Amino acid sequence: MKSISERTGFILGIAVKCIRYYGWRQKPTHRCITGTRSRCCSILLGKMLPDEETDRLSTLLWKVIEEAFEYSAEAHKDHGQSIPAKDSLYDFIQRRCNEELKDEREQDTLLQMSEMWGAYVGEPVWKQSLRFAWMEECCGGEEMFVASNYSAIMDRISKAATDKAEILLGKRVVSVRTPKERTSGQKVCVTTDDGSIREFDEVVMSTPLGWLKKYPDCFIPSLPPRLTSAIDNLKLSQLEKVFITFPTAFWIEDKTNDSFPSYTNWLRPRYAEETNPHHWPQEIWNLAAFSPPNNHPTILFYLYGDCSRHINSDCTPQAILATEWLKDELNGHGSYCNFQTGIEEADKDVEAFKEGCVERRLWFCGEHAAPFEECGTVAGAYLSGESTGVKVAGLYGLKA
């Protein structure tokens, strides 16, 4: 089978697109991060909306989303109890939209635009818990787009491990036996699928949330109830990308003055009943809009929620590359955790992972154990590993 880069002609960052600016941490990699020409466009009923309307409504939409973050952060001071668990971000946007806009057509357009939230969290905006919207706030603030690929960032964040640790590849963990008490003097035993057993003073589990959901019995004895319910409560979203590469970027007519938008959003298309009876919105990034040498004659589609599930089960792309995280056990059969309507204590669930089972010499890290504002991101996964490392080192009197 051909590799991704053989099929598309270049190395793709298939998992990530944006990095929230995080102080010094991204500085070494700034040189590989460039912006795109940032023209965005929205297609309503098959026709492009005027730029002025797209800009005005999307600015208003982000203002309302920021308000929702503030509203839920304020409610969080009282443990979020003033916001019913079933309320969604969409409910909030709908309320504010009616207050902000008089024109019914504009109200409807803004609500349709709000569906782009799906491509951030991987599930529709009406599934986003309003009570825990504050935990998604990393989608606000300054964002960067990686125009090349993630390799420079991977090199940087894996350096400590590749320099100093013994890394065993091609082995899957199948069980983790922990002592009941730290003082017992027993070690943690990890068994891999080749039958080998290794002993460790401390173990940090970085398997994805979806893997923990699938194999709760891999821990002996079972995990404490707070962690078991955190694994149950936090949901996984379904975000996928599809890259379609052409011999040339035929959609750019004037190569010297590229005016094709870098981002296009087809708002709830109702005019393709045969191929899209559920009117799933479609959004594309035009990778030809990058500056050289990172521009490619490629269109990148973002798919989420039911649309992702549909593509995964029904389509067999041949000339295009479609990620299939849903089928990948090592990725936990999903993209990353999110906080859906109905969840009661998402913050405490994440806290449970962050605390781990110190008594049992067992720790957790990954995007689901990240600082609240960084859950679901690479930066969050990295930070969770780093802070767990600091805690473990501290137990042994070591300075990190």
Contact set with ligand FAD (CB under 6 A) = 15-18, 172-173, 206-208, 211, 239-241, 325, 330-331, 335-336, 366-367, 376-379, 381
Write the CA distances from 327 to 46, 159, 207, 323, integer angstroms: 33, 29, 16, 9
Structure tokens at 249: 């970027």
The least distance separating ligand FAD from the CB of residue 334, rounded to whole angstroms, comes to: 8
Q: Please say which residue, 206 or 312, places its beta carbon nearer to ligand FAD.
A: 206
Q: Is the peptide bond before 221 cis (omega within 30 degrees of 0)?
A: yes
The least distance separating ligand FAD from the CB of residue 355, rounded to whole angstroms, comes to: 17
Q: Rounded distance, CA 335 to CA 378, Å? A: 11
Structure tokens at 270: 């109702």
The least distance separating ligand FAD from the CB of residue 174, rounded to whole angstroms, comes to: 7
Q: Please say which residue, 131 or 241, places its beta carbon nearer to ligand FAD.
A: 241
DSSP conformation class of 49: P
Q: Please say which residue, 161 or 398, places its beta carbon nearer to ligand FAD.
A: 161
The least distance separating ligand FAD from the CB of residue 208, rounded to whole angstroms, comes to: 4
Structure tokens at 301: 């589609």
Structure tokens at 341: 């309507």
- The secondary element (H helix, E strand) that includes residue 264 is strand 263-267
Q: Rounded distance, CA 262 to CA 285, Å? A: 6
The least distance separating ligand FAD from the CB of residue 193, rounded to whole angstroms, comes to: 8
Q: DSSP strand E in the chain: where?
A: 18-20, 40-44, 47-48, 143-145, 173-177, 188-192, 197-200, 203-205, 219-220, 235-236, 239-245, 263-267, 282-286, 298-304, 321-322, 337-338, 362-364
Residue nearest to ligand FAD (CB): 366
The least distance separating ligand FAD from the CB of residue 13, rounded to whole angstroms, comes to: 9
Write the CA distances from 229 to 56, 88, 147, integer angstroms: 43, 22, 39
Q: Please say which residue, 182 or 214, places its beta carbon nearer to ligand FAD.
A: 214
Structure tokens at 213: 């959901």
Q: Rounded distance, CA 395 to CA 361, Å? A: 11
The least distance separating ligand FAD from the CB of residue 380, rounded to whole angstroms, comes to: 6
The least distance separating ligand FAD from the CB of residue 257, rounded to whole angstroms, comes to: 29
Q: Please say which residue, 86 or 172, places its beta carbon nearer to ligand FAD.
A: 172
Angle (CA) 21 206 189, round 5°: 155
The least distance separating ligand FAD from the CB of residue 157, rounded to whole angstroms, comes to: 10
DSSP string spanning 6-40?
Answer: HHHSS----S--EEE--GGGGGGGGGG-------E
The torsion angles phi and psi of 317, rounded to 5 degrees, stand at -65, 140
Q: Please say which residue, 48 or 161, places its beta carbon nearer to ligand FAD.
A: 161
